[in-house]
Amino acid sequence: MFLHDMLDRATRLWGNAPALADGAVRLTYRELDDRVHRLAAALQGLGLVHGDHIAVLSLNGFRYMEVYLAAALGGFVVAPVNTRLHPLEVEFILNDGEIKALLLGSAFVPVLEQIKGNLKRIRHFVLMAEEAAPDLYAYEQLLADADPTRLEQRPWREEDLVHLCYTGGTTGLPKGVMLSQRNVVANVHHAIQMAGFNERDVWLHAAPMFHLADSWACFALTLLGAFHVFMEAFQPAQALELIQRHRVTASLWVPTMINSVLALPEARTFDLSSMRRLVYGASPMPPERLKEAIALFGDILLQAYGQTESAPFLTCTTLRGTRPGGDARDIRRLASCGQEIVGVEVRVVDDADRPVRPGEVGEIVARGANVMLGYWKRPEETAAALRNGWLHTGDLATIDEENHIYIVDRAKDMIITGGENVYSTEVENALYRHPAVLEAAVVARPDEKWGETPCAFVDLKDGADGVTAEQIIAFCRDHMAHFKVPRSVVFGPLPKTSTGKIQKFALRDRARELRD
Amino acid sequence: MFLHDMLDRATRLWGNAPALADGAVRLTYRELDDRVHRLAAALQGLGLVHGDHIAVLSLNGFRYMEVYLAAALGGFVVAPVNTRLHPLEVEFILNDGEIKALLLGSAFVPVLEQIKGNLKRIRHFVLMAEEAAPDLYAYEQLLADADPTRLEQRPWREEDLVHLCYTGGTTGLPKGVMLSQRNVVANVHHAIQMAGFNERDVWLHAAPMFHLADSWACFALTLLGAFHVFMEAFQPAQALELIQRHRVTASLWVPTMINSVLALPEARTFDLSSMRRLVYGASPMPPERLKEAIALFGDILLQAYGQTESAPFLTCTTLRGTRPGGDARDIRRLASCGQEIVGVEVRVVDDADRPVRPGEVGEIVARGANVMLGYWKRPEETAAALRNGWLHTGDLATIDEENHIYIVDRAKDMIITGGENVYSTEVENALYRHPAVLEAAVVARPDEKWGETPCAFVDLKDGADGVTAEQIIAFCRDHMAHFKVPRSVVFGPLPKTSTGKIQKFALRDRARELRD
pLDDT at A484: 87
Which among B192, B197, B199 has the least Cβ separation from residue A318? Answer: B199
pLDDT at A402: 78
pLDDT at A330: 67
Which residue blocks in A157-235 are alpha helix, DSSP H?
Answer: 181-195, 212-223
CATH, residue A171: 3.40.50.12780
Please give the Cα distance from A395 to B484 (Å, whole number).
62
Distance of CA B428 to the CA centre of its chain: 22
Domain-ending residue, one of B135, B156, B177: B156
pLDDT digits (tens, 9 = 90+) for A180-191: 999 999 999 999
Full DSSP string of B298-348: -S-EEEEEE-GGGSSEEEE--STT--TTS-HHHHHHTT--BEEPTTEEEEE
B13 touches chain A (CB under 8 A): yes
pLDDT band, residue A321 (cuts 50/70/90): low
Q: B402–A200: do the CB atoms touch at under 8 Å? A: no
pLDDT at A284: 65
pLDDT digits (tens, 9 = 90+) for B166-218: 986 444 578 999 999 999 999 999 999 999 898 889 999 999 999 999 999 99
Q: Is A353 found in the same domain as A292?
A: yes
B296 lies in some domain = no
Q: Is A87 found in the same domain as A135?
A: yes
- Chain A neighbours among B 129-148 (CB < 8 Å)? none
Q: Is A143 found in the same domain as A250?
A: no
State the nearest Cα–Cα gap between A197 and chain B, in angstroms: 7
Mean pLDDT value across residues A386-414:
88
> Rounded to whole angstroms, what are the CA distances from A346 to A315, A343, A397, A482, B129?
8, 10, 11, 33, 38
Please give the Cα distance from B348 to B370 (Å, whole number).
18
Q: Is A421 found in the same domain as A402?
A: no
Q: Is A405 found in the same domain as A435?
A: no
Domain-ending residue, one of A377, A410, A443: A410
pLDDT digits (tens, 9 = 90+) for A137-158: 999 999 999 999 999 999 999 9
Q: Is A429 found in the same domain as A384?
A: no
Please give the Cα distance from A410 to B103 (Å, whole number).
52
**Identity (one letter) of the amino acid at B437?**
V
Q: B224–A342: do the CB atoms touch at under 8 Å? A: yes
Length, in residues, of chain A: 516
CATH, residue B39: 3.40.50.980
State the nearest Cα–Cα gap between A233 and chain B, in angstroms: 30
B432 lies in some domain = yes
Strand A77-80, strand A53-57: pairing: parallel
pLDDT band, residue A31 (cuts 50/70/90): very high
A200 touches chain B (CB under 8 A): yes
Q: B342–A13: do the CB atoms touch at under 8 Å? A: no
B470 lies in some domain = yes
pLDDT at A281: 82
pLDDT at B499: 54
Question: What total number of domains does chain A contain?
Answer: 3
Question: How large is the ipTM?
Answer: 0.79
pLDDT digits (tens, 9 = 90+) for B115-140: 999 998 898 999 999 888 888 999 99
Q: B13–A200: do the CB atoms touch at under 8 Å? A: no
What is the number of other CB atoms lying within 10 angstroms of the CB of residue A252?
27
Q: Is A431 found in the same domain as A394?
A: no
State the nearest Cα–Cα gap between A402 and chain B, in angstroms: 5
State the nearest Cα–Cα gap between A367 and chain B, in angstroms: 11
Full DSSP string of A451-491: EEEEEEEEEEPTT-TT--HHHHHHHHHTTS-GGGS-SEEEE
Q: Is A161 found in the same domain as A306?
A: no
A197 lies in some domain = no
Instruction: Please choose, from the candidates A508, A395, A495, the residue with its C-alpha nearest in 3D space to the C-alpha of residue A439.
Output: A495
**Inter-chain contacts counted by CB atoms under 8 A, chains A and B:** 65
Q: Is A153 found in the same domain as A246?
A: no
pLDDT at B330: 67
Paired residues of B443 in beta bridges: B455
Max Cα distance, chain A (Å): 71
pLDDT band, residue A419 (cuts 50/70/90): confident
**Identity (one letter) of the amino acid at A318?**
T
Q: A13–B196: do the CB atoms touch at under 8 Å? A: no
Please give the Cα distance from B493 to B509 (Å, whole number).
15
Asked if the model's pLDDT at residue A81 lies above 70, the reply is yes
pLDDT band, residue A218 (cuts 50/70/90): very high
Strand A391-399, strand A374-375: pairing: unpaired
B29 touches chain A (CB under 8 A): no
A44 lies in some domain = yes
Domain-ending residue, one of B132, B156, B180: B156
> Rounded to whole angstroms, what are the CA distances from B312 to B176, B254, B334, B494?
14, 14, 21, 36
Contacts of B17 in chain A (CB under 8 A): 320
A327 touches chain B (CB under 8 A): no
Full DSSP string of A220-263: HHHHTT-EEEE-SS--HHHHHHHHHHHT--EEEE-HHHHHHHHT
Q: How much of chain A exceeds pLDDT 70, in percent?
A: 95
> Considering only alpha carbons, which residue of chain A is nearest residue B340?
A13
- Long-range CB contacts (< 8 A, 24+ apart) of B269-273? B270/B240, B270/B241, B270/B243, B270/B244, B271/B243, B271/B244, B272/B240, B272/B243, B272/B244, B272/B296, B272/B297, B272/B298
Per-residue pLDDT of chain B (516 residues; tens, 9 = 90+): 999 999 999 999 999 999 999 999 999 999 999 999 999 999 999 999 999 999 999 999 999 999 999 999 999 999 999 998 889 999 999 999 999 999 999 999 999 999 999 998 898 999 999 888 888 999 999 999 999 999 999 999 999 999 999 986 444 578 999 999 999 999 999 999 999 898 889 999 999 999 999 999 999 999 999 999 999 999 999 999 999 999 999 999 988 789 889 989 999 999 999 999 999 986 666 677 788 899 999 989 999 999 999 999 999 998 765 444 545 556 677 778 999 999 999 999 998 999 999 988 889 999 999 999 999 999 999 999 999 999 999 888 889 887 899 887 656 678 889 888 787 877 887 888 898 988 889 999 999 888 899 999 999 988 888 899 999 999 999 988 999 999 999 999 988 765 556 778 789 989 999 987
Question: Domain containing A444: what range?
Answer: 417-513
CA quadruple B481, B482, B488, B491: dihedral sign: positive
Instruction: Kindly calculate the radius of gyration of chain B based on its CA atoms and give it in whole angstroms.
Output: 23
Please give the Cα distance from A432 to A256 (Å, whole number).
13
Q: Is A380 found in the same domain as A241?
A: yes
B162 lies in some domain = no
Q: Which of A256-265, A322-331, A401-410, B179-188 has the lowest mean pLDDT?
A: A322-331
CATH, residue B488: 3.30.300.30
**Category of A195 on φ-ψ map: left (φ > 0), alpha (ψ -120 to 50) or beta:** alpha
A217 lies in some domain = no
pLDDT digits (tens, 9 = 90+) for B488-501: 999 999 887 655 56
> Considering only alpha carbons, which residue of chain A is nearest residue B402?
A13
State the nearest Cα–Cα gap between B400 and chain A, in angstroms: 10
A432 lies in some domain = yes
Which among B14, B223, B320 has the least Cβ separation from residue A402? Answer: B14
Distance of CA B32 to the CA centre of its chain: 25
Mean pLDDT value across residues A461-484:
89
Q: Is A347 found in the same domain as A281?
A: yes
pLDDT at A170: 42
Instruction: Please choose, from the candidates A90, A28, A39, A92, the residue with its C-alpha nearest in 3D space to the C-alpha of residue A64.
Output: A39
Please give the Cα distance from B87 to B93 (Å, whole number).
10
Half-sphere exposure of B336 (CA within 13 A, CB side): 28
Paired residues of A332 in beta bridges: none
Which among A15, A200, A342 has the least Cβ separation from residue B402? Answer: A15
CB B95 within 8 A of CB B119: yes
pLDDT at A256: 81
Q: Is A483 found in the same domain as A450?
A: yes
